[in-house]
Amino acid sequence: MMLNQSLIEMPTTWRCGRFLFDFTKRKRPIVMGILNATPDSFSDGGRFRNAQDAIAQAEIMIANGVDLIDIGGESTRPGAVPVSLEEELDRVLPVIEALKNCGVPLSIDTYKSETMRQALLAGIDCVNDIWALRQEGAVDAVTNIKECGIVLMHMQCDPLTMQFNPEYQDVTGEVIQFLKDRAAFLIEKGVSSDRIAIDPGFGFGKSLEHNLTMLSRFNAFTKLGYPVLAGISRKSMIGKVTGKETNERVAPSVAAAIMAADRGAKIIRVHDVAETVDALKLWEAVNF
């Protein structure tokens, strides 16, 4: 796939609400810690459903060196059934309120425009959307807040059907084209390019072969010039390769994080913050 050569630049900064990540100063990727305030997420569903438990988990992640906390109130695992707006807001807003001055940026993992709007008003710094802002009202929600970070993810179909029979002629090229088009659309709407990060969407409408191809060719995504997020932690692709159950996938998840970092990932979304931070510190010491 041919890319516009003017776009092939490594990002120097990423604006994330009240925070600015400067990639000329930091070499290791941003560690985005996953905080699921849900009863049914694939890895830790139910553990942090109570707001106090979620807040305690966030405090542990901060102590372990997390750079960004991604708060979600609705599972998007394969086959997940959507929840109502009211239920999602009830799950996430108390957590955001409690953590908004915790010293690290906060992200909201949602595709609902009203959740985005209320979370941003409550003090969230970034919107992480599996639908890449394709749902009604989502673009307006992020353009009304001039500095919030945005993560655009690729997904084929939707969480209910995405794993039925995903097909691509060229998975890497097709995902790149989609993310390039979505980012260009936002820029046309007045969004500054330094607010945009992209996510190829491991496990979202991809087979094991697709996922492994994207990981092996991950550096191709960086050529669009936006920070690229790698979200591989504990996913089924790791289970299929290793034969390990979800809670036994820490070591291969950390290995995948290092593979992504080697191939240019700037953001690593993980369940296991302490282990990933330590591994990336060693990776940084060796490489820089």
Q: Which domains does the chain have, with CATH numbers?
A: 15-30+101-287 (3.20.20.20)
pLDDT mean over 20-33: 96
Q: Please say if the pLDDT value at position 285 is more than 90.
A: yes
The token pair at 150 is 């945005």
The token pair at 1 is 């796939």
Cβ 108 vs Cβ 128: under 8 Å = yes
> Residue 145: its pLDDT value, please?
86
Q: Which of 34, 56, 55 is nearest to 45 (CA)?
A: 34
Q: Please say if the pLDDT value at position 2 is more than 60.
A: no
Q: Please say if the pLDDT value at position 123 is more than 70.
A: yes
CB atoms inside a 10 Å sphere around CB 134: 14
Cβ 204 vs Cβ 154: under 8 Å = yes
**Residue that wins the pLDDT comparison between 233 and 157:** 233
**Residue that wins the pLDDT comparison between 160 and 175:** 175
Q: Place 38 in a pLDDT band, splitting at 50, 70 and 90.
A: confident
Longest pairwise C-alpha distance within the chain: 49
pLDDT mean over 98-119: 96
Count of residues making up the chain: 288
Q: What gap in Å lies between CA 131 and CA 154, rounded to an integer?
A: 7
Report the share of the chain in percent with pLDDT over 70.
92
Q: Please say if the pLDDT value at position 200 is more than 70.
A: yes
Q: What gap in Å lies between CA 147 and CA 190, rounded to an integer?
A: 11
Q: Place 52 in a pLDDT band, splitting at 50, 70 and 90.
A: confident
Q: Place 260 in a pLDDT band, splitting at 50, 70 and 90.
A: very high
Residue with tokens 């353009």: 143
Q: Please say if the pLDDT value at position 47 is more than 70.
A: no
0.85 exceeded by pTM? yes
> Residue 10: its pLDDT value, please?
67
Enzyme catalytic residues:
235, 269
